[in-house]
């Protein structure tokens, strides 16, 4: 079946540094990538939607200059958390939409801890 | 806007007990409905889905029926196993391929 590879699975970084999270669709073309954030014991909150080759659309309240999203190809999207702070610590999950059947495939998530 | 409401957990059951996790939704039009499962430290896996009224999604012994009249999509399983312990999310999309809107999630704990 469809697989989305998300890396890293966990990362610890210092306050003020930037962290890049990658999501790759391994055996299908993802025209759209959704980026979610999940706080402990809570649901997934959509941060932004990115379409290949165009700028991402951010949900209300999400800082686009802080959470940089790039979707340069049909198989790769990246989320960069810039100047990370402890409140950015969370579980980030990507979800790729298949170009053909519009199915959603989720990455395994990235646990970000900012110290 | 669209929204999904799930019963609060955690739900604790003994092995082989029956499971029902309630899910209701608010949406304009005819959304597609989904159940996802999340095991500890992992991403989400699609459990089942239904795309139109009266459709029944099923997988691994789990079932859910799209009830337009009650705007519900309750998840059921006749006999749960310890390995079913996870967090279950109900979700909808207003159109195929559009963003998913998730419920709050329900923790299921199954004891042997």
Give pLDDT tens digits for B63-84.
999 999 999 999 999 999 999 9
User: In this predicted structure, which of A20-29, A72-81, A96-105, B90-99 has the lowest mean pLDDT?
Assistant: A96-105
The three-state secondary structure class of A74 is coil
Closest-CA distance of chain B to residue A18, Å: 23
Q: List the end-to-end C-alpha distance of chain B, in Å, as a whole number.
A: 41
The three-state secondary structure class of B53 is coil
Average pLDDT score over chain B: 94
Query: Residue A95: its chain B contacts at CB < 8 A?
Result: 44, 100
Distance in angstroms (rounded) separating the CA atoms of residues A108 and A1: 15
Tens-digit pLDDT profile for residues A6-27 = 999 999 999 999 999 999 999 8
Contact A43 B103 (CB under 8 A): yes
Q: Is residue B60's pLDDT more than 80?
A: yes
Q: Report the candidate in A17, A20, A16, A18 with the shortest Cα–Cα distance to residue A8.
A: A20
Distance in angstroms (rounded) separating the CA atoms of residues B1 and B63: 27
Q: Is residue A31's pLDDT more than 90?
A: no
Q: Which of B34, B43, B92 should one mutate to test binding to chain A, selecting the residue with the greatest count of A CBs within 10 A?
A: B43
- Which residues are CB-neighbours of A30 under 8 A, at least 6 positions away? A4, A52, A74, A75, A77, A96, A97, A98, A99, A105
Beta bridge partners of A113: A12
CB neighbour class for B56 (10 Å; exposed up to 12, middle 13-18, buried from 19): exposed
The three-state secondary structure class of A101 is coil
């Amino acid at each position: 079946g469809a697989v989305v590879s998300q890396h890293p699975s966990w990362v610890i970084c210092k306050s003020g540094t930037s962290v890049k999270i990658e999501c790759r669709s391994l055996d299908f073309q993802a025209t759209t990538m959704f980026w979610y954030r999940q706080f402990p014991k809570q649901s997934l909150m959509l941060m932004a939607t990115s379409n290949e080759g165009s700028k991402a659309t951010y949900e209300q309240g999400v800082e686009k200059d802080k959470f940089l999203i790039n979707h340069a190809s049909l198989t790769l999207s990246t989320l960069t958390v810039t100047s990370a702070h402890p409140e950015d610590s969370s579980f980030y999950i990507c979800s790729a939409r298949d170009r053909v059947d519009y199915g959603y495939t989720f990455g395994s998530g990235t646990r970000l801890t900012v110290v | 806007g669209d929204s999904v409401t799930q019963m609060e957990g955690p739900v604790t059951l003994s092995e082989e007990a029956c499971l029902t996790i309630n899910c209701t939704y608010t949406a304009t039009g005819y959304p597609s409905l989904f159940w996802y499962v999340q095991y500890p430290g992992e991403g989400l896996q699609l459990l089942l889905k239904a795309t139109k009224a009266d459709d029944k999604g099923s997988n691994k012994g789990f079932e859910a029926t799209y009830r337009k009249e009650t705007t519900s999509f309750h998840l059921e399983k006749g006999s749960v196993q310890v390995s079913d312990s996870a967090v279950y999310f109900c979700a909808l999309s207003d159109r195929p391929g559009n963003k998913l809107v998730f419920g709050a999630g329900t923790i299921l704990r199954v004891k042997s």
